[in-house]
Structure 1
């Protein structure tokens, strides 16, 4: 008896399916990076609600709640205004509004930078379990800082109301050779200036957030460095003092001019105080806006898909 013949049917292999590229490779395009930011903005209800809940959670079981933000800003501005007005021999009626406006804007800038380094690390749970663009967490952070800024504006409004008679006319700060025009409708320039600050805050948090997620030494370095920048930024002192310390005050102005935060601070503070507006501050901020967003989109293009693995 002959053994059974077993036949094997071979399927034709005219078309060979290639394995698909990994998701990370497909996501490394500028189009995907821009789409992430666009989709994040479209989720306004999500990050708007989360940002508001952050403030409510921080002051839960507190009697006056978020008003502690205003009280803290008010006591700080008053204490430092009284102290440094005596140290620098400044008139309190113009120096206290200067310090108050400076602190209000500075707190927003520093909050976006320092918290931006931890933005993805602090949202590890949401990033791993919530299918949302990573820009949502950055917009949540910036929105939270905007709410803090709004609370602190109450202190600024009170101080300006008290010293309105001195700020509503041309005035000079002590040792400042520039005569400022005083408060006018030019104060409305603070609105687009602050909007420009918020736009920059987004790229700062995106860029530093991605870098800090990969290299965990960056946040403490930024926190330490920002304390040095505070004393080098005209907040508790003004640039006119640099001219007082010597006849060569022109080169001393580089202490302020080479500090990027000074320009971001000044485009908002100057109209808030009726100071003479220097348009080179807007040019510097505009340049940083373009450069910063280019770097942030580059980081998003290359590493946005890895953030969920790094946190």
Structure 2
């Protein structure tokens, strides 16, 4: 699907409670000499910002630090190819292009966790809402005393030297608009602010800061403080979990650590500690 520029569609004003993003203002605020962000583009509607930005990267038409934001995504994707849809302008749906040449490829898996830390940090500052991270890529908020998913992150390779990281965050989604009962939004979690412009700026500035630290440390998550920050904000640690692993195997136990490779370490009832690098993790309720 070809993205359409937001300035070309008057329907963006159809819901005044959800005003459109101002691409020019975002560029003025974020694109600066010596900074990470090289361009910020806002499109009215597209299938997937990850797919669009990856295609531009492969063709050599996007530099590191390119940011693509969609007011509406019709084919947004999460892990395990799950779909992510929401009403127009009800959230932040964007992708960024990173080229971490200084970091060994073996450490690029930390980009998903790094982005989670950056998003949670940025939202805490700008929205005034407590957030937590579910390993490896979900953003959690509390709605009515219950843990709800309000966002997700998906990192994908783009050519030999690039990674596109996509972020989706439910901002103003109302209860009757939730795709599933387990979903949430910043508004439902009592956020002090839901204006998407300052939220996006705060998240991207936080991501620039964390990415810079990680890159300067050569991708070492301990040296840059990333591993400690992720563990501090991870709601999965200390919980009883079930990991649905590739091949149909399930692993049940307590999530006790995130290791140096970004894997979740699960301690089983028989005393075995097994690192999990891929799989679907479910937080189990206490007995």
TM-score normalised by the shorter chain: which range applies?
under 0.3
| Higher Cα Rg, which structure | 1
Which structure has the highest strand share of the two?
2
Q: Which one has more relative contact order, counting CA pairs under 8 Å at least 6 apart?
A: 1
